[in-house]
Amino acid sequence: MSGTKHTPGPWTSDWDDNGFFWIDPIHASLSGCPGDDAEANARLIAAAPELLEACKAAEESIVCFMAESKLSADSGAGAILAEIRAAMNKAEGR
């Protein structure tokens, strides 16, 4: 699945009349009652495209900051950059 494109955002989430929490436009559903983890999970999933874009912007900013500041990969900024890249790789199936 490496290199597979995701459905572009924005994604939304909402309850239907049957007690399912839907995430559109990907047509995923989470069952559960209002107030349990299904709603929180659906909101997190629906925010995924924006979170990925925020990670990409943060990566670019941190790389520039590290270069300008002559910081190494083992600095605090380097550790944050590694976490951001790991999350992006996971999201993008790499």
- For residues 56 and 89, state if they share a domain: yes
> Predicted confidence band at 32 (pLDDT cuts at 50, 70, 90)?
low
Q: Which residue has the higher pLDDT, 89 or 25?
A: 89
Give all strands (DSSP E) within 1-94, no chain letters.
Answer: 12-15, 20-24, 28-31
38 shares its domain with 80: no
Q: What's the pLDDT at 17? A: 79
Q: Is residue 2 part of a domain?
A: no
d(CA 91, CA 76): 23
> Is pLDDT at 50 greater than 90 in this prediction?
yes
Q: Give the range of the structural domain holding residue 37, as residue numbers without chain letter.
A: 11-46
91 and 59 inside one domain: yes
pLDDT of residue 37: 78
The reply to whether 5 falls in a domain is no
Same domain, 73 and 55: yes
Number of separate domains in the chain: 2
Residue 1: the pLDDT is 44
